[in-house]
């Protein structure tokens, strides 16, 4: 049975990847490596934790000795690397932690794989793959509404977060070129869906609407993002892992652009309907706050390559995906309460109270 290491598997996207691989591929042994920081939550995987092909390993990818030992003890067929610090605001206040996790952590994994797989490197039929999951933010920002990010778009990271992810992408490609490590990279647009930690826009707004708290919108809310349902991202990762060409990059996008303010208005309308509130009630909670430093105007992915070469495209229309997301949060308020207590509250107050 092939062993696959999924890093960051207790996080938002990672938990959906782990769930898909453990349930769709019982012939795989899935090892979920997670440090269980604030955004890593084993409750996200309570429905699969008893499966015979699921294994949890607590550990930090910045610990090179630990990572080397993990690879020595397990003959991993592949790695799906999702572990990362991912919130732009946090990267602005604490950039070095992003360098450590996203850059040093990725280099540790690459180095461990290089040493463990040394006998297979350079072989065309080598049964190994290092899959690095990245972000569209490495490409910078778009101003022309007719422009989209391609796999060949020049990198132009504009925050410590995107700079750290860009750096990790470069290390992955360098290990492929230098050591013949078999790699693929995907760069994805914004995700939404169940189990999303409420520091990101959609779960934050859902949580605050439930609590009748202010809905903080940066600047005038004109920033545009392309949104993809998280289960569609997990499905894309599945397709790329099994069918992607070694050395290639694939962009994953939802073909679904929204201005932040328009998205918040839609959420307000949806939540008022779900909660039985008078129309317009939640809109009154919208509060405009000082814009984020270096806030990119627009991201938009062209995922044509992924569709044409590997046959993937989004399965859900946004209205359906958003309704499923809202329904999940309303049905899992205990999960919300658990992840929004303690340290998160202190972070939230420091981030938004003074704006």
Residues labelled catalytic? 136-137, 161
Integer Cα distance of 355 and 289 in angstroms: 5
**CA-wise closest residue to 62 among 136, 159, 155, 168:** 168
Integer Cα distance of 263 and 57 in angstroms: 37
**CA-wise closest residue to 231 among 10, 16, 9:** 16
Angle in degrees, 0-180, between the axes of helices 318-331 and 260-275, rounded to the nearest 10: 50
What separation, in Å, do the N-terminal and C-terminal C-alpha atoms of the chain show?
Answer: 53
Which residues are CB-contacts of 328 (< 8 A; sequence separation ≥ 6)? 193, 194
Integer Cα distance of 210 and 271 in angstroms: 8
**CA-wise closest residue to 134 among 108, 114, 157:** 157
175 — phi, psi (to 5°)?
A: -70, -30
Integer Cα distance of 282 and 210 in angstroms: 9
Integer Cα distance of 95 and 281 in angstroms: 38
Do residues 29 and 4 lie in contact, with contact meaning Cβ atoms separated by under 8 Å?
A: yes
Residue 74: helix, strand or coil by DSSP? coil
Burial of 249 from C-beta contacts in 10 A (0-12 / 13-18 / 19+) = buried
Transcribe 196-209 into DSSP letters: --TTSHHHHHHHHH
Structure tokens at 165: 């992810």
């Amino acid at each position: 049975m092939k062993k696959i290491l999924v890093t960051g598997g207790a996080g938002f996207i990672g938990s959906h990847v782990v769930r898909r691989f453990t349930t769709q591929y019982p012939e795989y042994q899935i090892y979920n490596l997670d440090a269980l920081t604030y955004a890593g939550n084993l409750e996200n995987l309570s429905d699969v934790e008893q499966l015979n092909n699921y294994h949890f390993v607590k550990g930090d990818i910045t610990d090179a000795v630990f990572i080397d030992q993990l690879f020595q003890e397990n003959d991993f067929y592949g790695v799906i690397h999702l572990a990362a610090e991912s919130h732009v605001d946090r990267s602005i206040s604490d950039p070095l932690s992003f360098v450590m996790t996203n850059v040093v952590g990725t280099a540790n994994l690459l180095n461990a794989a290089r040493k463990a797989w040394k006998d297979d490197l350079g072989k065309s039929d080598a049964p190994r793959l290092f899959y690095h999951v990245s972000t569209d933010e490495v490409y910078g920002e778009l101003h022309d509404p007719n422009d989209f990010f391609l796999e060949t778009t020049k990198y132009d990271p504009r925050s410590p977060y995107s700079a750290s992810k860009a750096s990790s992408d470069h290390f992955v490609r360098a290990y492929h070129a230098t050591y013949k490590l078999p790699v693929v990279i995907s760069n994805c647009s914004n995700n939404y869906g169940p189990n999303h930690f409420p520091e990101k826009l959609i779960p934050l707004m859902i949580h605050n609407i439930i609590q009748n708290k202010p809905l903080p919108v940066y600047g005038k809310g004109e920033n545009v993002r392309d949104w993809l349902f998280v289960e569609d991202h997990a499905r894309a990762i599945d397709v790329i892992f099994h069918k992607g060409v070694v050395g290639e990059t694939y962009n994953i996008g939802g073909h679904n652009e929204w201005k932040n303010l328009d998205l918040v208005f839609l959420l307000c309308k949806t939540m008022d309907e779900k909660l039985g509130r008078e129309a317009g009630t939640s809109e009154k909670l919208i509060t405009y706050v000082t814009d984020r430093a270096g806030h990119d105007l627009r991201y938009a992915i062209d995922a044509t390559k992924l569709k044409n070469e590997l046959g993937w495209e989004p399965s859900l229309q946004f209205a359906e995906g958003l309704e499923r997301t809202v329904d999940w949060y309303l049905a899992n308020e205990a999960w919300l309460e658990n992840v929004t207590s303690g340290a998160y509250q202190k972070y939230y107050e420091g981030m938004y109270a003074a704006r």
